[in-house]
A and B are shown apart, each in its own frame.
Chain A
Amino acid sequence: MSDAAAEPIDPTLPPAAYARMAQVLRAGLYASLLLLIGALVAYLLIHPSVMSAQAIASNPILQFLSLSGLATGLAAGDPAAYLTLGLLVLVATPILRVASGFYYFRRGGERTLTAITFTVIVLLLLGLLVIGPLVR
């Protein structure tokens, strides 16, 4: 299968698709890390007396897992709400990655792969927005 003289097979996705997906990944990663680091530092400053056993035994973001709760927490400047947002951005980044694939497959007129990527996006959103809250 390997041959130094062989002409490479044409890439099945354009180089722009690779560049775009790398950009999406980097943007999502940087945004989530920025939020997580900033919010974690703020949390440590605001809660200097919290010990590890207490931090492990309870989850400070449960009240921010609804959209209304998150919006209220963000507006109030609660670091735990920003930690929640950072995690949400990290979780959502792969969805954007699949969305990029959907865009390029659709533009290339590839119906089967367009349908596959669309289905994957729907399933990912279903898990995050419907199944997770249902089993909470």
Chain B
Amino acid sequence: MGSHARGAARTSSAFSHAAAVPNVDLGLLVILLVLLSVTAGLVGSLSGLGGGVVVIPALVVLFGVPIPEAIGTGAITILATSTTTGAAYIRDRLSDLRIGMFLEIATVPGAILGATATVFLARASLTDALLVALGIVLLAIIPGSLSRWNEETPRPSTPDARSRALRLSGWYVDRATGRTVTYQAAETSPALGVMFGAGLVSGMFGIGGGVFKVLALERYLGLPMKVATATSNFMIGVTACAGAGILFAAGYVNPLLAAPVAVGTAAGAYVGSQVLPGLRNRTVRWIFIPVVAALAIETILRGLGLP
């Protein structure tokens, strides 16, 4: 049986769930995963959340993948999404690389801590409680996002000393309106705090943490929605790299799952990145908020052990 048989079983039955999909040929499994991940990549890139929000629960619920391996695959999914769309967003100059790199000083340590915690918590069977907590946090931020529903451009904000010193500002041409939109980052300290939390969640659960990143970029730094979404996507890749690196090196990334998922996600994300620059902000929000709600509910249900 070659290398497949030689590979020691990393998974533990204590973490595996019953699969909705029957035991099928590996080739069919690959095809199913590609189809799933194309959808995940599309939703992930449009919402700025990353494809993990679709892939992780689907792997657990539909395919019976143990949670740690699903999280490892989710982290790889995020990498594929961010890498694909990142190139397009950077080309269109929607991503603010300067602000993104500045904030990575908070997200990366968070992700390292989160991924390391996942490895230990999975072994201690405490993952389910953390999933419930995550779902509650996600639901709590939706009203805040809805309150700015009608704002197409950033609110006037006063930059702090750090923002001025590091010149955390930029501009872009909005394709939908044809206008040039300028911005200057405002409250960097709370943004750094939220970014650390985003990194923690990303590393711990294998999702992009885009919910928190967009929140910090839009709410505290006062960036336009499209810049916030594209910059979040840029940052998600680096944050996911920190978490995925640990999960990969620790043996929680199974390439027979991760390879088809990465390929499918990249294809879906490419289509999404071609659509986003032409959308109005309200359209992005219509996609963004239901995805957050679905993620939150799915996470809570998984944590409670409900179908």
Chain A residues with CB under 8 Å of chain B are 1-4, 6, 8-9, 11-13, 17-19, 21-22, 25-26, 28-29, 32-33, 36-37, 39-40, 43-44, 46-47, 50-63, 65, 73, 78-81, 83-84, 86-88, 90-95, 97-98, 101, 105, 110, 112-113, 116-117, 119-120, 123-124, 126-129, 131-133, 135-136
Contacts and interface: CB of A to CB of B under 8 A. Distances in A.
A78 B156 CA distance: 58
Nearest to A8: B171
A73 B6 CA distance: 12
A33 B91 contact: no
A33 B120 CA distance: 31
A90 B1 CA distance: 27
Please classify the interface of chain B as helix (H, G, I), strand (E, B), loop, or mixed, using the class held by over half of its residues.
Answer: helix
A67 B6 CA distance: 17
Interface in B264-279: 266
Contact of B108 (A17, A52, A120): A120
A53 B23 contact: yes
Given A12-B98, A13-B97, A91 B245 contact: yes
Given A18-B90, A52-B29, A98-B238, A58 B8 contact: yes
Contacts of A2: 153-154, 179-182
Interface string B85-99: 011101101000110
A59 B112 contact: no
Contacts of A97: 86, 237-238
Given A8-B180, A60-B6, A124-B241, A40 B260 contact: yes
Contacts of A88: 248
B249 A22 contact: no
B30 interface: yes
A54 B63 CA distance: 12
Given A29-B80, A123-B108, A124-B241, A56 B98 contact: no
Interface string B268-303: 000000000000000000000000000000000000
Given A83-B255, A86-B255, A128-B245, A59 B169 contact: no
Contacts of A40: 30, 255-256, 259-260
B26 interface: yes
Interface string B141-183: 0000000000001111100000001110111000000111111
Interface string B74-117: 00100110111011101101000110011011001101100110
B111 to A, nearest CB: 8
Contact of A124 (B242, B247, B248, B255): B242
Given A80-B4, A135-B119, A52 B112 contact: no
Contacts of A112: 165-166
A44 B27 contact: yes
A132 B247 contact: yes
Given A97-B237, A124-B241, A128-B246, A52 B263 contact: no
A94 B249 contact: no
Given A25-B87, A93-B83, A36 B27 contact: no
A46 to B, nearest CB: 6
